Amino acid sequence: MSTIDILRQYLPLCWFSRNPLELTRSISFFRLNLLFYFVVEYFMQANMTDDPFESFTEVSIETTLTLLFIGLILLLNKTLYVYIQVITAIIFCSNVVSLFIIPVLIWLTVTEDILSYYLLGLIFLWDFMLVAYIFRKVLSINLPASLALSVFYFIVAYLGAFALGQL
């Protein structure tokens, strides 16, 4: 299956209309998404700090924590066999959301318009809800549990990377 065909399968997930367990398992698509994710996260992080090495370290830690967190959740749920589909789904959705975040961040940096802050908040909410949706579908849990797990994921991945990067 070509990368474009796989992309077409994963894209409806970003609109909450696809089950991540029904998506194609592709290591090459996962690697492409992981590379894109790392580059985009590095770009955003490098624009927030002055030190490129610090940005690289923090994004590396964030990516590692994301991969480990999803693996641990699936291991505890005894569904580790769907790791590639789930991690690809989460990273793919983050990549799509990032395509919307980057122009808003540029707008926010240039103008500091209040509307740009609201739009950024809505995009972050979309990313949060996508992760909760994926957890709900994969783990067969209810909405409040998936929201709580999503909060925990963002704390571990993003705040954990920030905290470890400061050491």
Average pLDDT over residues 112-128: 93
* Per-residue model confidence (pLDDT) at position 161: 85
* Per-residue model confidence (pLDDT) at position 34: 97
Does the pLDDT at position 19 exceed 80?
Answer: yes
Kindly indicate the confidence band of residue 49, based on its pLDDT and cuts at 50, 70 and 90.
confident
Q: Please tell me what DSSP assigns to residue 25.
A: P
Kindly indicate the confidence band of residue 167, based on its pLDDT and cuts at 50, 70 and 90.
confident
Rounded Cα distance, 142 and 136, in Å = 6
Helix-helix angle 114-139:143-154, to 10 degrees: 120
Continuous H helices in the chain: 3-10, 27-48, 52-76, 83-111, 114-139, 143-154, 160-165
* Per-residue model confidence (pLDDT) at position 112: 81
164 or 31: which carries more pLDDT confidence? Answer: 31
* Per-residue model confidence (pLDDT) at position 32: 95
Sign of CA dihedral 139, 15, 120, 104: positive
> Model pTM?
0.92
